[in-house]
Amino acid sequence: MSNFECWLSDRLDALRVDSEVFSSYIQGILEGDEKHDEKTESIQDILESASTESVDIAGVTQEIIRMYNEQSGLESSIGTSQALDAATEDGQEGTFEDKVRTIFSKQNAKASESANKRKASSTEEREKLRSSILSQYAEVEVASAENAEEDIIKASAGQLATPALNPKDKRKNPPSSSDPLLMKNTNAQQVLDAEKLKRERSKQESEAKKVKDKTDRENQKKKEAERREKEKQRTQKGERRR
């Protein structure tokens, strides 16, 4: 566990926030690619929802972000220093600037390699999905072609006596729902609709939870204020009796 993780856990415990649940979540936000304002808003929402203490949540949020930036810069500096020491022990020649340039070049190369691997993995997954879909539709098209060929053979043998339809009849009689290609398209659309509905429902549940958490905090603050007011009134009555 890094120094920042230890500090963050202690800070959350002081706010009576479950550090085991929210520490890694907050750190994930800090390590993300979002803008500073978006990170600030996300962390502040979490603290407002989870904390029961009457504190300056905005100030605590800025403190967490500042501490993370400081610790990240310190660890990066230590890593660079260790790399320079290792380069010196290996007997690399050149000026200090050359060594720094070499080290940062290696670090950038590693970062670029990691990004390329993630991109390649994502591309590979998309290609697999695309190939799977194309394969499914290819099977349907082959089955449709085989059925059509069989119908032609039956028709030529006099076993199929269905008259040809004119354009008006085609408009009145849409494709049968038993058409495998139509069924495949319908199933694919149903899957897409289900995924969309799932995302919308998840978003609605998240918004509802935020509203509920906000209402609970307001009710809790209201109850606390009422309790303090009653305590104040009891104290005043006691003083009058004296």
Q: Are 217 and 180 in contact (CB under 8 A)?
A: no
Alpha-carbon dihedral sign for residues 173, 174, 178, 180: positive
Residue-level length of the chain: 242
pLDDT at position 65:
92
Please report which helix (H) or strand (E) contains residue 228, including its range: helix 180-241
pLDDT at position 183:
57
Outline where 31-166 has alpha helix (H).
36-50, 57-89, 96-156
Q: Which residue has the higher pLDDT, 62 or 19?
A: 62
| pLDDT at residue 134 greater than cutoff 60 | no
CA angle 108–110–116, rounded 5-degree value: 100
Q: Are 47 and 39 in contact (CB under 8 A)?
A: no
Highest mean pLDDT among 33-47, 89-103, 176-190: 33-47
First-to-final CA distance of the chain: 58
- Residue 102 CB: number of other CB atoms within 10 A? 15
pLDDT at position 3:
84
> What are 49-83's pLDDT values in tens digits?
887 778 888 999 999 999 998 887 755 544 555 55
Distance from C-alpha of 238 to C-alpha of 186, rounded to nearest angstrom: 77
pLDDT band at 7 (very low <50, low <70, confident <90, very high): very high
| pLDDT at residue 241 greater than cutoff 80 | no
Q: Give the predicted TM-score (pTM) of the model.
A: 0.34
CA 182 to chain centre: 34
Instruction: Give the CA distances from residue 172 to residues 14, 42, 180, 185, 190, in Å, rounded to whole numbers and listed in that order.
Output: 73, 56, 20, 21, 25
> What are 205-235's pLDDT values in tens digits?
888 888 888 888 888 888 888 888 888 888 8
CA 71 to chain centre: 25
Least confident span in 5-19, 136-150, 165-179, 185-199:
165-179
> What are 27-46's pLDDT values in tens digits?
888 888 888 899 999 898 88
Q: Which residue has the higher pLDDT, 197 or 53?
A: 197
pLDDT band at 159 (very low <50, low <70, confident <90, very high): very low
Give me the chain's average pLDDT, please: 71
Q: Which residue has the higher pLDDT, 78 or 124?
A: 124
Distance from C-alpha of 50 to C-alpha of 19, rounded to nearest angstrom: 10
